[in-house]
Structure formats: structure tokens, C-alpha cells
Chains A and B, each alone.
Chain A
Amino acid sequence: MTDANRPTGPTDAAPDTSSPPATPPTAPAAPRILPVTDLSLVVLVGTSGAGKSSFARKHFLPTQVVSSDFCRGLIADDENDQSASAEAFELLHHIVGKRLAGGRLTVVDATNVQPEARKQLIRIARDHDVLPIAIVLDVPPGVCAERNRTRPDRQLPPHVVPRQNRELRRSLRGLEREGFRKVHILRGEAEVDAAEIVTEKRYNDLRHLTGPFDIVGDVHGCRAELETLLTRLGYEIGRDAEGRPVDAAHPGGRTAVFVGDLVDRGPDTPGVLRLVMGMVGAGHAVCVPGNHENKLGRAMDGRNVTVSHGLQESLDQLAAEPEEFRLQVRAFMRDLVSHYLLDGGRLVVCHAGLPEKYHDRTSGRVRSHALYGDTTGETDEYGLPVRYPWAEEYRGKALVVYGHTPVQVPGFVNNTICLDTGCVFGGSLTALRYPERELVSVEAEQEWYAPVRPMTAAAPEPHEGRPLDLADVAGRRTVETSLHGRITVREENAAAALEVMSRFALDPRLLAYLPPTMAPSATSRRPGYLEHPEEAFSSYRADGVQHVICEEKHMGSRAVVLVARDDTALEQRFGIAGPGAIWTRTGRAFLSDDAVTGAVLDRVRAAAEKAGLFDELGTGWLLLDAELMPWSLKALELLRRQYAAVGAAAGAALPTVLAALEQAAGRGLDLGELTERQRRRAADAEAFVAAYRRYCWPTEGLAGIRLAPFQVLAAEGANLAVRPHDEHLGWIDRMVAADDHEAPLLRGTGRLLVDTSDERSVEAGIAWWEELTGAGGEGMVVKPLSSTARGRAGEGRQGALLQPGVKVRGREYLRIIYGPDYTEYLDQLRQRFLGHKRSLALREYALGLEALDRLAAGEPLWRVHEPVFAVLALESEPVDPRL
């Protein structure tokens, strides 16, 4: 039996032809076991009437079988219409291709007696890097003809079956040469009936091994360093009578994984092989081959290879070993499988890196990719091929651990990591602890071999801003969130977000979060009110949320603040040095003046430092959700062009109107309610002007700017947004207390805890809101104290995600939203629809938290950017902007 991922040597040339040579067709057949690899293209071969369809039905799922008759029927409404054959096979090939691309075992039910037909199928299998397997149903032509005669739906001319049989006979011996990696021939009806299909795993499939693992980079004959590293990792080294290491076992049951290139260049290739072969043999390690094993194996097998790149050292050292050892080495190398899927498919180990589409595949191409990697076709100044930066494009879920390309400092790039730290060149030998994701290194004892090109960080630099690809964000996309399932972004919204993100937003590396929108409380029926806290409390009570926190709503603009403890603190997580950034809901820099931004960040940093937050949270940076005041700082243009303008127009027009009305009334005209109505309009307009004026005050540099953080969203390694709100406010109170009292920048957030099940507590909440808004405040936000909250669980499912907060805006403030005299039109305005806004708020909230989770988990930039971008895209969905 062979596996395409194994080396192609002389022994591979003859695939497994599992046909018992001399079974007479009449003898009672013993059960025939036909091994079929779980991802392969099974090609049934047999004349018409040989029973291929019945065989397929018996052994495979109906959906796994693609039949030419069926395709003919789809094309021409007639399964026997031979004139439709060309199109029918085109369709069959298309379906087969789609299935294989999706990684699904596929069976082709067609006669396939002609080599051309099989050739096309083999090509499709190769295109998708799966094994082609032939199962031949060699049933006597008489039986087939008889079956065809009794089938009412099939009228074949008498010459057809004999012709097909002749073609089959000619084909039988050459099937392996055609490229089938397994050929099963069933002779006669009895054998066909007795056959049993057994599905085999691919050789690279070790998903059942869950580790934990210690994955070791390129060793290159550095036996001493390997011993030191294994010891440091906690392995106990076993030695033979001569004191040579022959095994290493971890008392904690850990498994070592070698990424290949054990051999060549270094001082003791046989010693390394002896140790690793022992570990593999004892089940303490698995090993994939590197390009050096491949070449050494070929050289030892007597094949003609160019002796270079340290191969001579290995050959010389092995020549000093006994023949028996050399045979063991040859067998070991022959059996090495190109790459392994481990830990349920979450971990892929190979020598030179592997794109996701090859992970579950088996072909010569995959093997070659795993051993040698991909190149751009260009050569560098040392004449070495330029490696294709596959890791930058990698978007797979599995962590790919590989070696091959020496780097100075290993680092994760898009869920891949290269562990070759050039030990043999005087660098170090590195291992990755999995799933801990910790790196353990030992320095090389000396430079064992001079490198062709200097040791540089040849692996793609994740700091260059390069890793984001348009395909990460553009078009219709679905983002998986842990909180709220799959969230879809529509194409037109993504298009708008792309425009804003690329033209106006800050560097996406910094933008780890965009704030979600928030729905208002249900519309109040109280006379004179559109919104009232009563509805907020009762809806949370109805959903079983007892403790809520009311937070004062600040009269500014939303700002997300990323603040660094020092100028290098952001580099590791965000790839950018500097003090941090402050951005708006759409990711724009909040302040146009970098100096003012820097001054604000300085003060925030100082306050957090003094409050001890960096130490307490074990972080070099903090991400804060905040309100930056005054509103006029950011919205001045809008204020001037819309709000103040409306006030000015009203202020100019209404006094003239009132004067004219009074003059007319003086003439004794009956104006009815007209005058009174215009008076109310004038009063409303004045109230409107008073309302927006509260949000405006001049600023000069830092003077006048106030920042009110209300949540600590994240710190290194932690999504803090899921922590209870009183904890957040506790941290923030300490920052506010630590701020400069002479000229404070930071502002605290007033809050009140309310027990929704306690009437008096609810009354107190309402009174607090009335007090806040009566004094001109914007209103308050009511949030479940616990932060994320779910409704009552149903039968076998968790409760639905609840609104993370609802805003209850003050009666006067709403004039800025609904117009100066909205109080005249409350009945009409109460017909507002909150459904979409609520749904949007939930989706954006879940996406925001998803981004923070991914950031905390150290996931690659594109994974953090994806939900952040989705929040921006959703913000462009059509929803009543006044909500």
C-alpha cells in the first residue's frame, strides 16, 4: 500500500493491486476487503450491466455517487441519450470537481472502460490532490448482456457489451500505470457480491493525537543542542550501552514532533537520527521529513543526487556507522509522511509550510510543497530562490508549525510559526509547546556550518501592515461570533465600510475595536415623554435581569482610547510604536491635532499609572471606551450647519411672526389658536437652542477637553468588556481620582444600581433620571450589571442575548434629535420601530466583543480586523438614525 505523501521511490512504482490472482470465478468467494482512503476519487470500471450502480448503492452513500446516466438525464431528460454524453460527462466532471474541492469522497459510476475517460478522472483527482482509486467489476459479458436485456429502460445494441468487454480486458493491466494509487479487481459475480469496503484514514491524519506536543525546529545534526533542549522541555533521555541517546520520554506524557531537517551540515547526524528514530519507534515522537531527509534518503538509496548543502557531512558520518543502522535509517526515511494533522485538525506540522487547501490532501504536489515550500521564481542577491510568502496569505483555522527557513526570532504570522532558528548556523534550537504556545530555545554551542546568506528575519514581518487582504473584508461575508452566532455583512455595507476604512480610518492595526450602536428604551406612553426609565427597568425585569446599573450619559462624542504605558508597549500586540490613539465610531482619528491627542494620552497614561492599573492588569496598554467632551469639539461643523442654523432661522423668523400676529389681533381679527401655537413654537425653539448649547464650549489645546471613560475594554491577554460594570467603574474611579485635580481631564461617570425586582429601587432609578435630565443632562444608560446577559433559557438552548444596555434620553435633549417642537408631535413620533435598531445593537455588540476576544487570544490581525470592519459595515445599514 502506498501513500502519495510518502517518498516516490522504486518501491512505490507498483501500486497495490489487491486482486487474488487465481480465484476461479465459480468458487464461493471469501469476503474481499477493499481498502478505500477516506478522501479519494473512486472510479468504478465495468461494462454496461456489470452491476456498478448496485455496487455503488450497496457500499456508498447515494450522495457520494455521481453517475453518468444520471447526468445524461439531467442534460437531456433521457438517461440513455448517447448524443448527450459529451455534455453529461462535462457535468459529471464538474460535480466531481466540486465535491473533491470540498474534501468529499466521491464515486464515479460510469463504464470507464476507455483509457481516455479514466485519464480525465485521474487528472481531476490530481487537480484536487486526492488519490484516485479504481474498483473493477469484471463480470462475464454474457451475464451483463442478460441483465441489460431484462432492463426495460435500457436498449443496447448487441455489439456494445462485447466491445466494452474488449476495452476492459485491454485496460486491466495498465490501470496502475495510468495513475490509480489503488486498484481493486473483482472477478465474477460472487466476488463482487462478497466485497466489503473499508474506509482507511489518510496517513497524514493523526487528528486523534491530542498531545500536548513539543514541536522542535530544524536540528541539522546538532545532537548536543537537541539533548539540551529535550531536557529543558522535561524529557528524560534514555541511552544505550555506549551512552548514546536512543529515546526521550516526557513524564507528563507529552509527545515530541520534529519538523524535519534532522540531518546534514551538523556534527552528529547519526546521533540525532538514533535519538529521533528511537523516540518515534517508542511512540514518544512523530516526525515529518524535510528536504534534507528526502535528499539524503535518495542518496543512500543510490540515486544520483548533487552532493551539496551539508549532505557530504551526513554521508561521511553515516559511512562510519554499521550497515544495519544505515538500513534502519533508510527505512525510517522512506516511511516518513510529508505532513501531519494533529489535535483534531487544529495543528498541522510540516517542514516548509503548507497552505490550508493542502492540509487534508495527499498528492505528489502536496508532498513537494510540504518539503520544499513555494518560491516566487525570483532569486535574491545570494542567488537563493525567494520564498513565496505563503504565511501572509494564510487564513486557516489550524496552526501551521514548520521550519525550513532560518529566522532570528520566531513569531506568529497569521496562525503559522516557523521554528527554524538556525542552530547549525550558530543560532539556536527552538521548540514550541502546544497548546501552550510557549517557545523554548537553547543556544547553539557554536557555529557548526557557515550560512550562505546572513541570518536575518527572513520570515515575513508581521509588522509591515501587509497581512490584511481585501478578501478579509470585501463583499458579502459572514463573521462567526461566540456570543451571537453567525453575523452576515451585506456587500453594499462592506463597500461603504471599505471606503471609510481605507480613506479615513486610522491604521487597522490600532483599531482593535469599534463601539456598537445602542438602542433606546421602549417608547414611553407617558404624557409628554418619548422615553422614560420605567420601560428600561421593566424590560430587563421581564427578561429576568435583577441587577442593572444606571450610568449617566455624557454630553460628548464616543471615543475609543488606546493608551500605551510607554512608547514601546504597543509594538508587540499592535505592531506600532507610540503613545496610542483616540478614535471615533468610524475609526477616524478623533482629534485632528496630533499634539493634543498626545497630550490627552499622556494624561490618561499618567492617571492609569498612578492608579496602578497597568500593574494590576498585567498589561502595557489599555483600551478604553469613553465619551469625549464637548460635543462641539468634534461636531462643530454639524452644529454650525444644522443645529445652530435651525436655531438662528427660528430665532429670526418667529419673533416677526408673533409681532405680525399680535398686530393682527390688535385689529380684532379672530386668529383662533394660531397665535398660541406660534408662541409654543417660539418657546420650543428657545428650549432647543438651550439644549444644544449645553454641549458646546470652547477648547484650546487640552484646556476644555474632558474625557469620561466608562469601560476598560481590554488589556494584554484579556477581554475585560465581559466583566461587571461596577468593576469597570471601580477602575475608572481610581483613574479619575489619580488625575490632576487642578485642571482635570478625566471625568467620572455618575451611576446608580437598581434592583428591578424592588419597586422602591426602581422609583429611585426614575427619580435619579428625572434629576439628571431636569438639570439639563442628556439622560442615562441602563445596563445589566453583569455586562453580558441572556434571557431565560428555553428547552435545551441558552437564552437569547439581551441588549447590553439601553439609553433613556432626557426630554429636553431629545429636541436635538427629534426637532425643536417634537413634543407637539409625540403621538406620531411614538410610532417608531425599534426592532432593527435592537437587532443591530446586538449584532454590533457581539462583533465588538468578538474582536476583543480575538485580540486577547493573540489572534492574527485579519481575525481582529474582520469583526471590527463588520461593525463599521453594519453602521451603514438603514436604521432610523434618531433611535
Chain B
Amino acid sequence: MFISISTTGTAERPATDLGFLLHKHPGKVQRFATSHGEAHVFYPEATDAVCTAALLLDIDPVALVRRGMGKGRGGSPDFALAQYVNDRPYAASSLLAVALRTVFRTAMKGVCENRPGLADETRPLRIVLPAVPANGSGEGGGAAMVARLFEPLGWQVEAAPVPLDETFPEWGESRYLRVGLSGTLRLADALQQLYVLLPVLDGAKHYWVAPDEVDKLLAAGEGWLADHPERALIAGRYLARRWSLTRRAMQRLELARLAEADDREAEEFDNAVDDSGETAYATGPAPGGPAGQPAVAGATSGSVPEPDAAAAAKPPSLAEQRRAAILDALREVGAARVADLGCGQGELIAALLKDARITEVLGVDVSSRALSTAARKLRLERMSERQAARVSLVQGALTYTDARLKGYDAAVLSEVIEHLDLPRLPALEQAVLGVARPSAVVVTTPNAEYNVRWESLPAGHVRHADHRFEWDRAQFRAWAERAAAAYGYTVVIRPVGPQDPEVGAPTQLALFRLGTPAAAGTAPAPAGTSATTGAATTAAVTTPDTTTPDTTTPEGGDTR
């Protein structure tokens, strides 16, 4: 990987002053050992008029991999580093940032003992980075991102995308940019900006993000970061993925290997949990300090948006309305022991635990990572024994029958069935309705007709990348009635969320109850709920239409 720094000058103010500023003699070729390979500094040109210093970091790819493969503390969190086929030897990443800091440490501090005062002056500078990895998708692309980061600092930015492979133009452009920066700045500022912004552009760091990273960021950002319009973005990405990284590194290995066996990206298999932001659920009175966010987050939380904080004042999200509708249905059937099948990160479990009528909750999910996230967010380890005894989380797959699921009053399949390939659905029906056979089953799923009302959803798209299908109201009803009949249940279907006269509500809920309609009619209905028996084909309860469509996400902010 490579960076060149050029400046121009005159006989009175020669460009070769760059050598003094960098503390590297323009007539020499110097070599420095860094932890990832040798760094070479040389000057392709050095005249009074123009002087260019080049830093070439000759990365040892094998050493990089051997280091990257380690597990736990010594290992690197960047999964890409574990690959021998790796862009790190060519692209400007955090490795280059570290090399810059190692090789030009004094210059970066703005110290120049031989020529006092020189370091405080601005100079015309031109920086060339032939391959900058810039992840800017969704934010205007890589080139726009470079501009957003550097232009406010006084740089003129040229950023030309590099094609992936000219033989296959249909593959499009790579994430690399050939970047040229021109501006008149103090060299020390320029180096510090590069030190911070190269990793920000890359979005991946090769070493563990430790708490002192915040201090490093504040130090390197002194004098320019505070007024930068994109400071939130910079802080967020510089300290990116700080909480989830270690967990991911530890938990995803088995799945990552399976993905690798199949020539897939690890994320394609390991996508059951959304790693963005994580806060504990409020599950009643709980001891201890602030949930989830350790103290160091406070240093930047003023500028990093917190997803949940702003939501408080809003009307209930669709996810909340869905949970309320599920709780209503569970109360209606008088369920005390409830199995949440496909519990994801435990949002519904948290809601169930707040209801004293629910004595026992079994959370089942196929994703081990979802379960450990749920355990963390529910703060199971810190619950009182009596509270903790109400909930258990187990791994299970609903396409397999499972004796542990037998004997519950009710099972909930909230936003679950659409994550199954349609041909596998009969196996789920059999496992839940046929074998687990709870007295009641609550199923929710998106109403595909409503998708046209989501402004952010392109036409014809499903609401979540992992949705294998989305049904309209007629399809859901047909399925529910067939499944109910096959397994001796009766079913009623209800809308959840704001009712649209044309396309219905965003979510549809089916409440299955074991037994023939006659038998269901004799079951005592809890006080305060409307009778639903005999209404097998009509929507019996309508959620009041009090809210406007939630425009945040079609999933209603619910990631499972």
C-alpha cells in the first residue's frame, strides 16, 4: 500500500522543506519495521519546485493471516484478515494509518526542531492514494463519502472509482477509489486527518477497538474534528461495531465456516441478528447501572444518534402494536405457559414477562446468536431467581418435531413463517399444530397488500431480505383455515396496525384454538374480551386505527 505526499515551493521556500517536516531526508531511502511489514520512505522527486515523499508499506500477507487467525484477545477482529486473498497489501486501510503514525510520528505532532515555525505554516499539499477502500453504499457511494469527509477540511477532492475487472464490465465498480487530495494545510493536520479518516473510509479496523480509542480519536481530531459537519459519522465509523465485534468473532465461526464451504459470505448465513445498536429491555425493576452501554460510550453519545432514544415520543411502532395484539390474544385464551417460537432477540419475551398472568415463557430460536443476544438483552443473568425461573431459552428448529414444546397453553409464531421456504411450511405445521399441540397458537405475518403503503419499499419487494414469501390476506386466510382444519383447530384472523380501506392492515394475525367450534364455544372467555367463537371466517377484533403508518421500517423496527 502506498501514499505520496507532494508539495510545491520556490527558491525562497523550497518544496524540499517537506523533508524537514517529515524528518526524512529526501536523498535517502529509509526503511522502518512495523508490525505488519516493512515501511519504506523515499522521494520520487525532490526539487525546490516540487517534492514528493512516498510511503510504501510492504505488507507480509502470510504474517497478516497468521495473526488474523488467532482467536480471542490476540486475534484480530477483522474477519477479512483471516483470508490470504486480501486487499490489505494493496489498499489504504487502518494498517497504512498506523504506519503513517509510526513513521511520521513527530511530523504528525507538528514538531520540527531543526526549523522551528515551519510546522506551523500551511503549505500547498497534494496527497495521492491509489487505492482507497471506501464503503459508502447508501450514503452516496464511496466518492461522495470521500468528499463529505475531506472537503469540509479544505481539501479539493478527486476520487475516481476503480473498476472491479475490465474483463467483466457487468461486475461494475470496486469499492476502491483513486484519491487525490489538494489543499493548503499544515502537514501535521493533514497527517492526523488521514490517520483518522482512512479507517473511517474503510470501515474495518485491524486491531481491537479498545476504550482508549476514544482518547486517540479525540487527540488526533484536535482542532478539526469538533467543527466537522460529519463528526457524528466519523466518530460512529471510527469506533465502529465496538460492542458486537468481539461477540461476532467468537460466535460466528461455525456458521462462517459453513458459509465458506459454500463459497458464500459469512453474512449470508449469519444474518439472524442485526448487530446495529443494542440496548437491554426494560423488564420491570432491575438493579444495576445503565443497560448495555458502557461508560465510555458517553464520550461520543452526544453526537452518535441513539436509535431508541428518539422513538419514545412517537406513537407505538408496528412492532409494539403487534406485541400488544399478541398479548391480547394470549389473555383472551387465558394462557399462562407460553412458547415463543422463533423468539429472535426476545422482544416479545420481554413484553410477556411484564404480565404476571404469564407464569412461564419458553423462547425458541434456531439462531444461537439470537438466543445469546436475547439472554443479554433480557438480562437473564441479573434477574432474580424467581423471575429467571419464568423464562428459558433453547435452540430449536421448527421444521423438526420437538418434545420440549409439548404441553404449553399457547405458542406464538410472530413474524416467523415468512422466514421459511414455502415447501418447508408443512413441516412447521406438523411440529407446532400436530405435535407440540398447544391449546392456542398465535401466528402473525406481513400483509403483502399493505406493502404499497410503505414509501421506502420499492414495488414488488418484500419487507425483509430474508422473507421467503409474503402473503396477501386471502392467501393467509386460506393457509390458516387449511392448517387449522388439518389439525383440529379453529381459527380467527385479525388485522394488526392501522387499517387501510383498500389494502388492509400491515400485519395479519391468526389465533388458532384447539378443538371443534362447539368445544371452543364452551370454553370460558376471560372477562373483558369480546367473544370470538363461531367467527372463524370474520375478523373478530379490530385494532383501533389510532396511528399513522410507521415510516421507519416496513418491519416496524423489529429485526427478527
Contact = CB atoms under 8 A, between A and B. Distances in A.
Contact of B400 (A470, A652, A816): A470
Interface stretch (B390-398, B456-464, B548-556): B390-398
Interface of A: 378, 392-393, 464-466, 468-474, 492-493, 495-504, 507-508, 517, 557, 584-586, 588, 631, 634-635, 637-657, 659-661, 663-664, 667, 669-672, 674, 677-678, 681, 685, 688-689, 693, 696, 698, 816-822, 825, 828-829, 872, 875-879, 881-882
A876 B42 contact: no
B426 A493 contact: no
A473 B402 CA distance: 11
B403 A471 contact: yes
A649 B176 contact: yes
B402 A470 contact: yes
B62 interface: yes
A586 B258 contact: yes
Interface stretch (B158-166, B287-295, B309-317, B322-330): B158-166
A530 to B, nearest CB: 12
Given A493-B254, A557-B263, A646-B86, 18 more contacts: A470-B402, A471-B402, A496-B255, A502-B424, A507-B423, A507-B424, A637-B265, A645-B175, A649-B131, A649-B174, A652-B162, A653-B130, A654-B90, A656-B2, A672-B29, A696-B167, A696-B168, A817-B84
Given A378-B488, A698-B170, A667 B43 contact: yes
Given A471-B403, A819-B84, A825-B62, A693 B45 contact: no
A502 B257 contact: no
Contact of B44 (A465, A667, A698): A667
B257 A653 contact: no
Nearest to A655: B130
Majority SS of interface residues in chain A? Answer: helix
A466 B254 contact: no
Given A507-B424, A656-B2, A664-B42, A502 B165 contact: no
A465 B176 CA distance: 48
Contacts of B27: 669
A596 B338 CA distance: 43
A465 B43 contact: no
Given A469-B403, A657-B2, A652 B43 contact: no
A819 B85 contact: yes
A504 to B, nearest CB: 7
Contact of B265 (A584, A641, A877): A641
Majority SS of interface residues in chain B? Answer: mixed
Interface string B146-171: 00000000000000001111011011
Nearest to A463: B426
Nearest to A500: B258
B262 A584 contact: yes
A649 B162 contact: yes
B87 A674 contact: no
Contacts of B172: 640
Interface stretch (B53-61, B189-197, B206-214): B53-61
B427 A465 contact: yes
A877 B253 CA distance: 9
B255 A663 contact: no
Given A500-B255, A502-B366, A648-B174, A473 B90 contact: no
B199 interface: no
B203 interface: no
A638 B264 contact: yes
B16 interface: no
A704 to B, nearest CB: 13
B85 A881 contact: no
Contacts of A501: 397
Which of A472, A637, A667 neighbours the largest number of chain B CB atoms within 10 Å of its CB?
A667
Contacts of B264: 635, 637-638
Which of B2, B60, B263, B402 neighbours the largest number of chain A CB atoms within 10 Å of its CB?
B263
Contacts of A588: 262
Contacts of B427: 464-466, 468, 507
A497 B395 CA distance: 12
B29 A586 contact: no
Contacts of A825: 60-62
Nearest to A461: B430
B40 interface: yes
B130 A647 contact: no
Return the 7 tightest CB-CB contacts between A and B, nearest first.
A496-B254, A502-B397, A663-B44, A819-B84, A876-B254, A649-B90, A656-B130
A817 to B, nearest CB: 7
Q: How large is the interface on B (under 10, 10 to 19, 20 to 34, 35 or more residues)?
A: 35 or more
Nearest to A469: B401
A76 B65 CA distance: 57
A503 B268 CA distance: 11
Given A465-B426, A638-B263, A643 B176 contact: no
A646 B85 contact: yes
Which of A585, A638, A639, A872 neighbours the largest number of chain B CB atoms within 10 Å of its CB?
A638
A688 B176 CA distance: 18
A637 B268 CA distance: 10
A664 B262 contact: no
A496 to B, nearest CB: 3
A670 B165 contact: no
B45 A667 contact: yes
B133 interface: yes
A650 B165 CA distance: 11
A536 B258 CA distance: 27
Nearest to B38: A674
A645 B45 contact: no
11 contacts: A470-B396, A471-B403, A473-B400, A507-B427, A638-B263, A645-B164, A645-B176, A646-B86, A689-B165, A693-B167, A825-B60
A9 B127 CA distance: 102
A655 B27 CA distance: 23
Given A470-B400, A677-B58, A642 B85 contact: yes
Contacts of A875: 257-258, 261
A644 B366 contact: no
Nearest to B515: A378
A657 B400 contact: no
Contacts of B246: none
Nearest to B61: A819
Contact of B56 (A586, A645, A657): A657
A640 B43 contact: no
Which of A638, A652, A664 neighbours the largest number of chain B CB atoms within 10 Å of its CB?
A652
Contacts of A502: 366, 397-400, 424
Interface in B169-192: 170-172, 174-176, 178
Contact of B366 (A498, A671, A828): A498
Which of A637, A655, A685, A879 neighbours the largest number of chain B CB atoms within 10 Å of its CB?
A637
B44 A660 contact: yes
A355 B178 CA distance: 71
Given A465-B426, A645-B176, A664 B29 contact: yes
A598 to B, nearest CB: 15
A503 B419 contact: yes
Contact of B87 (A500, A649, A670, A882): A649
A474 B395 contact: yes
B255 A876 contact: yes
Interface string B262-295: 1111001100100000000000000000000000
A654 B45 CA distance: 18
Contact of A652 (B178, B419, B431): B178
Contact of A653 (B131, B262, B263, B366): B131
Contacts of A671: 29, 42
B136 interface: no
Contacts of B426: 464-465
B4 interface: yes
